[in-house]
Amino acid sequence: MATPLGRKRTALTEKPMGGKEMCSISDICDLSSRYFFIHTVPFARLSSILENLLDAGVTPKDILKDVWVFRYNPQSIQSRLDLIKESGILGIKPWMVHCDMKILEM
């Protein structure tokens, strides 16, 4: 989606939370220069994962600290988020969707 200035939006600069941007374009540039894999992730997958995490209550700040979560399958992430919610774990963090299940069982 293009903005009025012709710049394309990314999943992380969309305004999913009451009109507030999750991060600036500068933050996105910084992330994409440090994590090259982010360029290969399809936009639909980025958006799906981001939406699932935000719906589960993961904060944008925590998502930006662990962008590795975008390397995983959205369905697997949703499945893990459902398990975490059922377990009654509060304060869900991105690392929880890709850690060993034994850690969550403690």
Break the chain into its structural domains and give their ranges.
Answer: 41-104
Q: What is the pLDDT of residue 57?
A: 92
Q: What is the pLDDT of residue 2?
A: 44
Q: What is the pLDDT along the chain (106 residues), one digit of tens a residue?
A: 444 444 444 555 555 444 445 677 787 788 888 888 888 888 889 889 999 999 999 998 899 899 999 999 999 999 999 999 998 888 999 999 988 888 877 6
What 3-state class would DSSP assign to 44?
helix
Query: How far does Cα 62 stand from its chain's mean position?
Result: 9
Task: Determine contact, residues 53/94, Cβ cutoff 8 Å.
Answer: yes
- Which residues 6+ apart lie within 8 Å of 88 measured at CB? none
**Encoding tokens for residue 70?**
């975008």
Q: What is the pLDDT of residue 4?
A: 44
